[in-house]
Amino acid sequence: MDLPLFEYLQTYLTERRKELFKEILDKRTRHFTVVTEDVYQLHNTSAVMRSCDVFGIQDLHVIEERFGKRVDKEIAMGAQKWVDIYRHQNSLDCVKSLRAKGYQIIATTPHDNSTLLHEFDVTKKSAFFFGTEKLGVSEEVMQQADGFLKIPMYGFTESLNISVSAAIILQEVVTRMRIEKIAWQLSEEEKLAIEFQWTQRSIKSVDKIKERFYNQKKV
């Protein structure tokens, strides 16, 4: 990270915007992360991204083995500026990457052996996998999963739209996470790096401004 550049770019932001960044970063977490697996409907992944931002989840992982898609910006409502998106070619690579970062793999599924949402242990660092609209989480992820999670349901329908499921799960686990005495917040280094990203994404023609900054340094 180029600290002098960061300080220079911050002069383009209002004091309120800079204060807001710090307020939001104090509420951000990587204790939980979300994974969407080959979700066909573009607006669903975009809506999940919006929920990640709303509930303070910094990272969204997108597996695009079959359906490579752009983000639907109208649905995401600007969330793509604030949430970090990581794209994976297949599910096993994604699982391996998340395990290396200390996450347990949690498959969301209505199966009977799944843990009910209100009984889920929020103290563990967890990656929640959401599958396709029709088939759910893939068999590969089911075999790799460390646990299974379901939302209690009391009607004839046994599943919810993926974006609705993600919102319900995140609201529950994030609320309970904040009550627990666990280290769920970002490190100061993480906060600074994200603030640098947000600053750049907030400035029009930022590439030209950066170019001008470096040219001035050469003089």
The verdict on domain 29-184 having CATH code 3.40.50.300 is no
Burial 13-24 (b: 16+ CB within 10 A, else e): beeeeeeebeeb
Does position 68 have pLDDT exceeding 70, yes or no?
no
Q: CB–CB of 49/85 below 8 Å?
A: yes
State the Cα–Cα distance between residues 185 and 32, nearest whole angstrom.
11
The residues spanned by each domain of the chain are 29-184
The most confident of the ranges 13-27, 32-46, 76-90 is 13-27
Residue with tokens 């029709």: 134
Residue of 216 and 206 predicted with greater confidence: 206
Per-residue pLDDT of 104-139, as tens digits, reads 999 999 887 899 999 999 999 999 999 876 778 889
> 88 - beta bridge partners?
63
- For the entire predicted model, the pTM comes to 0.89
Q: pLDDT tens digit string along 26-51?
A: 999 999 999 998 765 567 788 899 99
